[in-house]
Structure 1
């Protein structure tokens, strides 16, 4: 946007207006016309007055249009004849006005009267009482009147300057603040939307935490239940001797069954054939199993006292075993161990 200053065409006048874009030609023309009407006494056109009225501008106090000048009555030149008739004079005005007697200065010498009310009479003051007075008080009053007129003119000029230069800036400032309010309003709306979104997320999170807490309580109850179940068994495990005694009792029951089956078959005068499974089961209870020449694992055995043994080697038909205890280092014949402990049964194999 192009913005150039508006300057007075008079070379001896340094007035200028700033901040009005070039495209606003009417506004630029009005500010220049208002300045020239106030400072240089130039008449305003009817179009300029119409624009000022439409735009809300204040007309300069001294500004007059050409039409108004044309319609105004022609002034009558006159001079004061040093006569003043006050209201209290027998020939004074009945309405209480002061009559200043004058004589026309157009060659006709006609007497005319200038009627002054109390305000104008007070303003003229001693000049009406003592037209020829040259005292110090009279001079002081005239100087004060002149000073007040000068201050009034300066104040009017300052007001006009402020209207020409400050109002556009104020409008731009107001527009800027309005734009700022709109931006803050948009930010507030976005913030409110974000708060609503976070509240929804918090609600979802609270539900998830509630479910997790319920599951945690259920797990805790299950752990308590399992710990109570575990106390039934912890510290109550049977010893190896007790387990071996239990297993020996089971094996003895199986042997007894095999013996009873064999006796039942042979008790008759003409014995019946003993079932084949009897011998197989009896051999299994003694830990006897067919040897596999390809099985190189060491046999693990348990004697009649519950002690563990492990096979280490075989030499010329003799199998040598050692106790499983850490201090074991002396090899013994499996038959000797069986004779000493009462039995020796295989329970597994290892490498």
Structure 2
């Protein structure tokens, strides 16, 4: 008779364990649907920044030309710029600004090379090396 309460307790604990395992499995499946598949807030902000830059760039081009008849400033061109489908202007000579995985700011010295803010602009290291060392590096804007 003394073992009956222990058996009942073990049976109850096994039942609770099975429920917990099932719940964990369901939560893992739910996480797998989203983790690594949804853009981060930083990704979304970078996308919106590129779109806005493209729209402003289109407006500056039209303003500089003073001519909208050449087809630059059409509803289709604005939609393309706003959706981020417009190519970067190859004449854009602004330096790209970056943040690395440790929150350190970097500035582009030449194509593919960056240096930490506050260091000599003549020095630089490949973006890939910074990414490997810090875990990531992403563009946050551009400056002259």
Q: TM-score, normalised by structure 2?
A: 0.41
Scaled by the length of structure 1, the TM-score of the pair is 0.18
The structure, 1 or 2, with the larger RCO (C-alpha pairs under 8 Å, 6+ apart) is 2
